[in-house]
Structure 1
Amino acid sequence: MTIDARPTGAADPLADGWRRPRGPRLGYRVDAWVALGLAGGTALSLTLTRSAGIMDDSPWWLAALWVALIALPLAARRRFPEIVALLVSIVFGVFGSIGVTDALFSSICLYVAIYSVGAWSHNRILARWSRLGIITGMFIWLFWTLIDHANQATSIPELSREGFFSPYAAYGLLQVLLNLVYFWAAYHFGDAAWHAARRSAALEARTLELAAERERTASQAVTLERVRIARELHDVVAHHVSLMGVQAGAARRILDRDPAAAARAISVIEESARTAVDELHTMLGALRADDVDCDGAQPAHQSTSTRGVDQLAELAQENADAGLSVRMQVIGDPRPVPGTIGLSLYRIAQEALTNTRKHAGAGATAELRLRYETDAIELEVTDTGRGSHPPAAPTSGEPAPGAAGGLGQRGMRERVAAVGGTLELANRPRGGYLVRARVPLAGASPAPAAEALTPADLLVPTRPVAE
């Protein structure tokens, strides 16, 4: 199941077609209050400008109309930024040409209008060209006004027009520089606000995705832990119960004519039961440990068993005691093996030998080889049985219908896959069955030669149970 971490109707903030959300209704109310505040400030500034004699006396209704048209449209700047900016710029230029203006708030209104196009426009191409068009028109109007006033001696008469760089020319250049900074700021900070909103939306979307991913990971961790527990239980119970069943049957058949051999078989049953209980206690203790994470899953690098490649000789001896002739060989120089890999190989060998006892038939023998290579370790279990081994589990992970060994073989595949190895399950051409697992050993260094064991050191004597 795929979980969409983005809010309903929201586009990907990193996509080219992302549109900035208009925000809650509170934002529209704030814009309305800002527009009313600017209208009040513009009215006060206009009154002071008229009182100072800077602006020509004009009808009060014309001044009131100018105040309304220059400020009140800003209430809709979030919803219709391009239209509002165009209207405010036209009002600014037209009424400024006839002398209806102030010295402060009209410029603030125009700045907010241009800024809002960059901050709120959904069409970024239209936002760019509409602002460039407004700015170009404003500079054309500015140059036209400066040239027109330069030819009127009554306009700013205190500034001389004489000379190559006259005082009036300096005044005009100052106006151009001020307008360049003014319009650049309105353009730049509008875009900056849009990009900041996009980054904020992307961060929010990623936060939601991470939360959803964490939920998926927690669910997967619980599922994987349940599979791991089921696999461990299968390996422990199947091996030891099978061993106890074989020994119990042998003891029952020879109890009357060979009590000593029956006693040995019962001792094997007792030892197998004790070992199974110990392994179950170890596994349950690990599940109840304090370092189990908050999702209920044990860390992957920890094992619920102390079994590993060092205990393969004990495993071979257990099967020999159960009546299966097992020969073990260690090829190559032994080296340290990570606990997870060691446990996986041990369980694979345990399952393979259990299947041999169950399916290989009477008189079958088995060979267990542990091969240390330069960059890998390989476990091979073969038998000479004539019985019918269970078919290999399908690659889908489901056990083969009617196959008693489906779960065991699936467990082998899961264990090998978990440590990055490969598994081969096949019938041998000359009879018998082959289980071969190969696992990489990245970074493992060989043990000192003095501690290496020869294959002869690990030959396990067989002691079949008398019939």
Structure 2
Amino acid sequence: MTASARAALPVDADGHWMRPSPGRAGLRADAIVALVIAVGASATVTLYSVAEFFDEPAEPWKAVLVVLGISGPLVWRRLYPVTVTVTVSAVYIIGVNNAVPEVLFSNIAIFAAMYSIGAWSQSRRRAFIARVIIVGGMFLWLFWGLTRAAFDTSLAPEGSGVGLIAPGVAFGLISVITNILYFAGAWAFGDRAWAAARERAQLQARTDELARERERTAEQAVALDRVRIGRELHDVVAHHVSVMGIQAGAARRALGSGRAGAEHEAAASLTAIEQSARQAVDELHRLVSTLRSPGDVDGEADDSPSTRTTAHLPALVDEVRATGRPAALTTVGDPVPLGPLVDTTLYRVAREAVTNSLKHAGASAALEVRLRFTPEVVELEVSDSGVGARAARGGASGGAGGGLGQVGMRERLAAIGGTLEAGPRSRGGYLVRASVPLVVQERSGDDHRSDERGVEEGAS
């Protein structure tokens, strides 16, 4: 049980759990028990009188008071168990000393009251002390009666002589044994009921804590999902805006050159800008839809992945070529099926690296995307022939201390067991290399498909 769950439970001065007071349902149940004991005690008083349990039974009004005295207090046995037990025990002793013929339901009442001390007392120390005093007092009274019976010869028939045990002593011993069993059972059952209630309270506290933890986890998952979507928005906007900016620049230069075919080149650039804008709007619509609650949209939100896979790398390279820059895609080795999570992550890394190359490599830089398959790993390389020192300007594909784009790529790859290398090349230009072990990607694709979304959020 955690410290927070323990702190939620009330304890007494000794550090013991304090059982909460019963509700109205418990008090109603105790009232019914008191009524049943009152009715039963009234019936047994009549039966004992008819059976001449006492030679001279008490007056009826005394019997009525004893019946009320042993049954009435039981209504409050859970609220004031010690007081109720003392009251019922005292009434029982008074009733016996006044020859009230009732010893059946009165013993049941004492048992229930003694049980309540162990089960419902707010302080374990007070419960122990109270039971010791009550039991001690009851047995002192029994031994006093036993001593009187030992010298009472009226119980023995005339001329019977003195036996091994006097009849009064035998009757007293039976009472002692009976009361030992009664009090021991009430003591043990009461403590067990208190322990069981404490276990239920601890279980409920743990359940409540787990419910609160689930709520916190759900809130954190929503927050992480929003962070993931925010990064997706950044990637989508940065990539498409970079491509559109370069294409717009190409269209402006073509229109200003005045050479033959310039209008055709400008129209092609504008067409590419239009296509990039449509793609950006489509992806943004899917991403933003996931941020809305079901009541905020006309239809159901599309929960399908908003990213592409390595199968879309040719389209990514074609976008670069549409800007007028040389670009190539090369696949090395025998391609193997990739898990959905690995496939998506590699495309994200490629798009981020291409976007930063368009931003920082220079207008004349050539771009190469290489997808390499080996028996152990799958590698993605994005290199350019531009200005490798651009990392100093904070490009996302810059050195080890690059910007947020590089941090995002590293996190995504780390989540699937991959690594990222990024830095200037010795022969000029810049290189981004992502490597993912094939064993990891197979496990991600085959054994953990049901956890794909959760891991994807962590990667983002």
TM more than 0.5: yes
RMSD: 5.1
**In 1, distance between residues paired with 2:332 and 2:177?**
85
Of structures 1 and 2, the one scoring higher in RCO (CA 8 A, sep 6+) is 1
Deviation at residue 117 of structure 1 after TM alignment: 1.4
**In 2, distance between residues paired with 1:154 and 1:27?**
48
Using the TM superposition, name which of 65-74 and 119-128 deviates more: 65-74
**In 1, distance between residues paired with 2:195 and 2:306?**
51
**In 2, distance between residues paired with 1:161 and 1:253?**
139
Corresponding residue of 2:305: 303
SS of aligned partner of 1:388: helix
Deviation at residue 23 of structure 1 after TM alignment: 3.4
SS of aligned partner of 2:319: helix
Deviation at residue 17 of structure 1 after TM alignment: 3.5
C-alpha distance 377-279 of structure 1, shift in aligned 2 (>3 A): farther
**In 2, distance between residues paired with 1:227 and 1:57?**
86
Within the alignment, does 1:227 sit opposite 2:224 as a pair?
no
Q: 8 Å contact 2:417–2:436 — kept in the other structure?
A: yes
Corresponding residue of 1:457: none
| One-letter amino acid of the structure 1 residue matched with residue 394 of structure 2 | P
Using the TM superposition, name which of 315-324 and 246-255 deviates more: 315-324
Using the TM superposition, name which of 169-178 and 104-113 deviates more: 169-178
Deviation at residue 381 of structure 1 after TM alignment: 3.2
List aligned pairs for 1:410-425, cutoff 5 A.
Answer: 411-412=408-409, 415-416=412-413, 419=416, 421-423=418-420
List aligned pairs for 1:64-463, cutoff 5 A.
Answer: 66-67=66-67, 69-93=69-93, 96=96, 99-100=99-100, 102-128=102-128, 130-131=130-131, 134=134, 149=149, 152=152, 154-155=154-155, 179=179, 182-183=182-183, 185-202=185-202, 204-206=204-206, 208-209=208-209, 211-255=211-255, 256=257, 259-260=260-261, 263=264, 266-267=267-268, 270-271=271-272, 273-274=274-275, 277-278=278-279, 280-281=281-282, 284=285, 302-305=304-307, 307-326=308-327, 328=329, 330=331, 334-372=335-373, 377-386=378-387, 388-389=390-391, 390-391=393-394, 408-409=405-406, 411-412=408-409, 415-416=412-413, 419=416, 421-423=418-420, 432-439=429-436, 441-442=439-440, 444=442
Corresponding residue of 1:464: none
Deviation at residue 145 of structure 1 after TM alignment: 5.6
Q: 8 Å contact 1:225–1:298 — kept in the other structure?
A: no
Deviation at residue 113 of structure 1 after TM alignment: 0.6
Q: 8 Å contact 1:364–1:384 — kept in the other structure?
A: yes
Deviation at residue 418 of structure 1 after TM alignment: 5.4
What are the ranges of 5 or more consecutive residues in structure 1 without an aligned counterpart? 394-399, 448-467
| One-letter amino acid of the structure 1 residue matched with residue 124 of structure 2 | R
Partner deviation per Cα, 1:252-289 (whole Å, 9 max, x = no partner): 22344555576456436534643653575367468879
| One-letter amino acid of the structure 1 residue matched with residue 251 of structure 2 | A
The TM-score, its normalising length taken from structure 1, stands at 0.68
**In 1, distance between residues paired with 2:436 and 2:166?**
88
Corresponding residue of 1:451: none
| One-letter amino acid of the structure 1 residue matched with residue 305 of structure 2 | S
| One-letter amino acid of the structure 2 residue matched with residue 77 of structure 1 | R
Q: 8 Å contact 1:161–1:168 — kept in the other structure?
A: no
**In 1, distance between residues paired with 2:374 and 2:125?**
64
Partner deviation per Cα, 1:404-433 (whole Å, 9 max, x = no partner): x95644543554465465555556677654
SS of aligned partner of 1:334: coil
Deviation at residue 250 of structure 1 after TM alignment: 1.8
Q: 8 Å contact 1:377–1:438 — kept in the other structure?
A: yes
SS of aligned partner of 1:442: helix
Partner deviation per Cα, 1:48-97 (whole Å, 9 max, x = no partner): 43454213534667656644553444344223323433443455456546
Partner deviation per Cα, 1:172-208 (whole Å, 9 max, x = no partner): 8876775565445433443454345445444554554
| One-letter amino acid of the structure 2 residue matched with residue 88 of structure 1 | V
Identity over aligned residues, as a percent? 44
SS of aligned partner of 2:22: coil
List aligned pairs for 1:54-73, cutoff 5 A.
Answer: 54-55=53-54, 56-58=56-58, 66-67=66-67, 69-73=69-73
The TM-score, its normalising length taken from structure 2, stands at 0.69
C-alpha distance 69-331 of structure 1, shift in aligned 2 (>3 A): farther
Q: 8 Å contact 2:9–2:202 — kept in the other structure?
A: no
SS of aligned partner of 2:442: coil
SS of aligned partner of 1:379: strand
Q: 8 Å contact 1:222–1:295 — kept in the other structure?
A: no
SS of aligned partner of 1:348: helix
**In 2, distance between residues paired with 1:208 and 1:324?**
60
SS of aligned partner of 2:390: coil
Corresponding residue of 1:49: 48
Deviation at residue 115 of structure 1 after TM alignment: 1.6
| One-letter amino acid of the structure 2 residue matched with residue 412 of structure 1 | M
What are the ranges of 5 or more consecutive residues in structure 2 without an aligned counterpart? 446-460
More helix by share: 2
Deviation at residue 438 of structure 1 after TM alignment: 4.5
Aligned pair count?
426
**In 2, distance between residues paired with 1:336 and 1:171?**
91
Deviation at residue 348 of structure 1 after TM alignment: 1.9
Q: 8 Å contact 1:243–1:269 — kept in the other structure?
A: no
